[in-house]
Structure 1
Amino acid sequence: MNKVVKGTIAAASAVALFGGGAGSLAYWQATANTDGLLLQMGHVEMYRTGAAGYAFNDESVSADTLEGGTWLVPGDVVTYSQSYQIDVRGTDAVLRVPELDFTGTPDYVLEAIETTLEVIPNGAYSQFSATNEARAFNVTGYGSFTVRITIEVPEELEDDEPMVDPINLTELQLTLTQVAEPLPDAVG
């Protein structure tokens, strides 16, 4: 090996040892740890409780009776009731109930009937309050509520058309969603 190459290697080694070359200097080190955490996620749960209730003119009936052998005339009232249990762990859940859906029911039939949809809390909750959004409720805690749907053929119904077409109420899909913040409460 020639003297120039040997000199260059020696000079580079001296720079690495004394000049702070990478990985060649010793250093001191200390460590510290954070605390571990086990965090529980909030959750929502909603399920139907008990059997649905059906009433025809304030008399309990079965769904089969209503669908198979009951012909509505002016003055008749049909009521459907179903209870739901909810469990909201954490805060800020919103229960949304869609509007009644009568897909497949002719307009002249819809114009002749009166309908109501009620959401009724059963017992105490941390919170169950109406919001400024239609059919939406801020809910926290554990409890139950009932959905009640009423379909009425008014007594004073005077319509030239014969009511030969049925009323078709489609099922509703209720939604319980945990959100970052509750909806604003209803005003008025």
Structure 2
Amino acid sequence: MNKLMKAAVAGAAGIALLAGGAGTFAVWNSTASIGSNATVSSGNLSLTANTDGVWKAGTTTLTSAQLAAYRLIPGKTLTYTQTLNIVATGDGLTAALTNSGLTATGTIAGVTPTMAVTSTSSNVTVSGNNVTVASASSAATVTVTITVALPESATTGQSSSTTLNAPTFTLTQTV
């Protein structure tokens, strides 16, 4: 074999040895744990209807059948009251209660449905129909009252009907 060929074979063998040994060097390492295990719990945000709502004509409570048969006349008012339970627990949690709005469709002229939201819970702030809820250890209550009035001045809409499309309430975290 000539010298050039011997040198090439020796060089290739050297490179092969270096490449083969590249993955075998040792790396030192060490680990340590600090502190202790910790359990973290999440909060809760929920909205539920407390009971079935109640329709009233004046002070008289109406069953579903009585409401279906009730004939609203000018100067009279119907009210619907529903209580909502709000659970808001979590450090720094606040939430907003919003509604899709109360709408009426039909042909009774002058019917003006309105909605009012109230609460006596200390962690609930009500401004009009805008409700803010802060975290608390117990459930809060919000009362929704829908009023349907036919003004005394109504002169049209006899033998007509109107459907009240109930609002949908949504509780959304704000912080």
TM over 0.5: yes
Pairing 1:99–2:96 present: no
Q: Alpha carbons of 1:32 and 1:175: their partners in 2 closer, same or farther (altered >3 Å)?
A: same
Shift of residue 166, structure 1, vs aligned partner: 0.9
Which residue number in structure 1 is paired with residue 129 of structure 2? 135
Give the stretch that moved more between structures: 55-64 or 81-90: 55-64
Q: Alpha carbons of 1:51 and 1:130: their partners in 2 closer, same or farther (altered >3 Å)?
A: closer
Which residue number in structure 1 is paired with residue 119 of structure 2? 121
Whether the 8 Å CA contact 1:84–1:146 is kept in 2: the answer is yes
User: Per-residue displacement from partner, 1:14-45 (whole Å, max 9, x unpaired)?
Assistant: 7569xxx7334333211234665543333311
**RMSD (Å), alpha carbons:** 2.8
Letter in 2 for 1:145: V
Distance in 2 between residues matched to 1:62 and 1:122, nearest whole Å:
27
What is the aligned length?
Answer: 166
1:1-188 mapped onto 2 (5 Å cutoff): 3-12=6-15, 15=18, 22-33=22-33, 36-68=37-69, 70-90=70-90, 91-103=93-105, 105-106=106-107, 109=109, 112-125=110-123, 128-130=124-126, 135-140=129-134, 141=136, 142-155=139-152, 157-159=153-155, 161-179=156-174, 181=175
Shift of residue 74, structure 1, vs aligned partner: 1.6
Q: Alpha carbons of 1:136 and 1:78: their partners in 2 closer, same or farther (altered >3 Å)?
A: same
Q: Alpha carbons of 1:82 and 1:162: their partners in 2 closer, same or farther (altered >3 Å)?
A: closer
Q: What runs of 5+ residues in structure 1 fail to find an aligned partner?
A: 182-188
Letter in 2 for 1:170: N
Shift of residue 158, structure 1, vs aligned partner: 4.4
Q: What runs of 5+ residues in structure 2 fail to find an aligned partner?
A: none
Q: Alpha carbons of 1:38 and 1:113: their partners in 2 closer, same or farther (altered >3 Å)?
A: same
Whether the 8 Å CA contact 2:104–2:165 is kept in 1: the answer is yes
Distance in 2 between residues matched to 1:152 and 1:88, nearest whole Å:
34
